[in-house]
Amino acid sequence: MNEMMSLMNETNTILKGRFKLTSGKCSEVYLEKFRLLEDPKILHQIGKLFYKELNSLSPDIILGAAVGGILLSSVVAQQFGTKGIFAERVQGDMILKRDFDIKKNSKVLIVEDIVTTGGSIDELIEIVENKNAICIGITCLVDRSENGLDNFKYPFFPLMKYPSITWEPKNCPLCDDNNPCKPRGRTGK
């Protein structure tokens, strides 16, 4: 966790202001994951951190979600010596494209970037289960949920927890009718 915080500070990942998150919630903290992911050396360090934390798992495949999950699934797969694939959002639904496949009974490790509500993870779990594969765990760069997520039916291993308060837009103390929180880097969810 200290290594992740050092990397986040080094890359100016933590932004303060008024933001609308991919989850649709508002927050005064935004974690700009691409400050971490844009530097190949730091991305390689992150891959090693994931492996250090999860090397007891033996995944057959690493599954991420586009966009940040493309880089993460690849760097984590490299550490484990296996395939890294990603799902994409098409007309609001998370699906596998590009002839990516998950074979029946494959052991899948789900890798996410920044998690607030876990909605995208739930969609990735559904893909794994629909393929009759085995989800051996879920990991992410940062669990930014206020109280820590523990609502997944599979083990959850965030590299770091960075609790942040979020609000529904209608209850957001940062927003007003003339000046709502602005989206930043949303994936179209």
pLDDT tens digits, 35-64: 999 999 999 999 999 999 999 999 999 999
Span 2-183: which CATH code?
A: 3.40.50.2020
In the chain the first and final C-alpha atoms are separated, in Å, by 28
**pLDDT > 70 fraction of the chain, expressed in percent and rounded:** 97
CB burial of 81-117 (b: ≥16 within 10 Å; e: otherwise) equals ebbbbbbbbeeeebebeeebebeeebbbbbbbbbbbb
Decide: 27 and 21 in contact? Cβ < 8 Å: yes
The model's pTM = 0.89
Question: What integer pLDDT is reported at residue 185 of this predicted model?
Answer: 63
pLDDT digits (tens, 9 = 90+) for 130-145: 999 999 999 999 998 8
What is the Cα–Cα distance from 87 to 142, expressed in whole angstroms?
19
